Every structure is written in C-alpha cells, then in structure tokens.
Amino acid sequence: MRDERILAYRNLPSPNSSDTAAPFHCQSNSLCIPALGSHNIRVVQPGKSVHQSWPSGNEDRERHMKTLRIMIADDHDLMRRGIKGLLLSHPNWEVCGEAQTGREAVVKAEQLKPDIVILDISMPDLNGVEAARRIRKASENTEVLILSAHYSDQLIREIVEAGARGYIVKSDSDRDLVIAVETLANHKPFFTPRATEVILGNFNAGGARAKIPEEIRDRLTSREREIVQLLAEGKSSKEVATFLCISVKTVETHRANIMRKLQLHTVTELVRYAVRNQIIEP
C-alpha cells in the first residue's frame, strides 16, 4: 500500500526571502502546508487533521487550544449546510455565523469578528472579492477563504490583492477544505497547486510575460463595482437607486461611466463581462 501521508511544512522560503512563508506546490501523494507550532516537518497521518496529529502526551497544548470561530457565506443552503457539517465534525471548531449575500457577510463579519470567513465568490448584492476586501478592512485579524466554481487566473490575482489568503475550488476534496481552514487558522496562506502556479508565475514574471489586461478593481470605483453587479443581476436603475439609497440620476451617471471605462455599449455586454469575471453566476 502506498504511503499517502501529508507533509506539513513551516516557513517555506519564498523566491526573494529565506525566512518568509511562501505559497507551495503539492506533489503526488502529498500536500505541503504550514505546520502548527512545529520546527521543520510534522507528519500528519492519513485521516487525521493537523490538530489531531499532536503527540498524545501533549495534553497541555490540547487543553489550552482555543475555539476556532468560523463564518460561512454562500447563497446556496445545501452548500452552507454541507460545509457546516464538515466543520462541526472537528473539535474546537464552531460556526459562529452564516450569511446568504456578500453584503450580509460583511455586516456579520464586522459584528462577530470571526477567525475565518469562508466566502463563495458569486453571491447576490456583493460578490466574494468585494466582500473579502471589506471584511479584511473591517477586521484585519479575520482570514478569508474563497470558494470558486472554477479556476480563473484573473480571479486569483483579484483575490490575493483583496486580502484573501485562501482559495479552493468547489470540486476540491473535503480534506482540502479542512487543511485550508487549519492553515489559515495559523495565519498562513493556502492555495491549490494551480493557484500557486499563477501566483508564483506573476511574482517571477518581470518583463518576460505578456502584460495582464487592466482589471476591474483598477478601473472602477468601489461604488461602480457594486452597480456593475446589481445591473448585471437584472436590476433597473430605479431599483439600484433604492437598494443603495442614492438617486436615480446618480445611478445613471455611474452607469455611463462604467460603460465608458469598460468600453461596453449594452447591458447584455455588461452581463457577459460580469459572468466572465465571476461577478455573477451564469
């Protein structure tokens, strides 16, 4: 039988530093993650979490381990329940709150100050990237784990710059989600191999790679990004104005600026843009 142990590393060297933790690559039959309070390497046996792998004699540490408070934000009830059930199966983990929209997630994160927020990338009212940016601003000690339906190189860059330090795809295994939470609980980044390649490739790019097209966060204001999502979700200018408590004229001005900046001409093109960038779900 093949040995499928998980190797947990701490303080892996980054390309430009010898003492800073960096993203890591996964190799066959193993997954590299930062260890909890360990020097060099700690071996995690199959079927056990990092928390469960401490020596049985280390009862003092286990007794003083604080409860990890986690909030889940996803607009699909079934997904939230599944994630919640998985998290609650681990000792010292609790789900302190749930949210169905990005805006609700921001409000609850400000109130609850959880250790970790698990955010779906595509949620009504406010998408995961914008929600992550606001949560990190309001609660800098809260780590954010983004869930996405599929990979997008541009999305990975936006997630990192929004302050989220964890990213997995919904097709990844339950074990990946557990390890991601454990890693973020130790304030270390967790990215899947594909995301790591994008990050490291961007880090080492220099002038060798083609320039990435300017992204929505660089071209639109925070208010304009909100309006892009609301318009793409099918709301009229009047409905957007009511929702954001601004005038219809202000919405129309923002809408005109958005179309000009993104070089779009119709709402249909705006919807396609939003779907392509995972601002809304198709």
pLDDT greater than 60 at residue 178: yes
3-class DSSP string for 24-47: CCCCCCCCCECCCCCCCEEEECCC
pLDDT tens digit sequence for 37-73? 433 434 444 455 444 444 444 544 544 568 999 999 9
pLDDT at position 276 is: 79
Match 């940016």 to its residue by tokens: 133
Fold topology of 6-203: Rossmann fold (3.40.50)
Other CB atoms within 10 Å distance of the CB of residue 171: 10
pLDDT at residue 33 in the model: 43
Q: How confident is the model at residue 201 (pLDDT cuts 50, 70, 90)?
A: low
- According to the model, what pLDDT value does residue 202 have? 57
CATH fold match for the domains 6-203 and 216-276: no
146, 167 Cβ separation under 8 angstroms: yes
Extents of the domains making up the chain: 6-203, 216-276
Q: How confident is the model at residue 95 (pLDDT cuts 50, 70, 90)?
A: very high
Write down the pLDDT at residue 122: 85
Q: Does domain 216-276 have CATH number 3.40.50.1980?
A: no
The amino acid present at 278, given as its one-letter code, is Q
Give me the count of residues in the chain: 282
Q: What is the pLDDT of residues 109-124, one digit of tens each?
A: 999 999 999 999 888 8
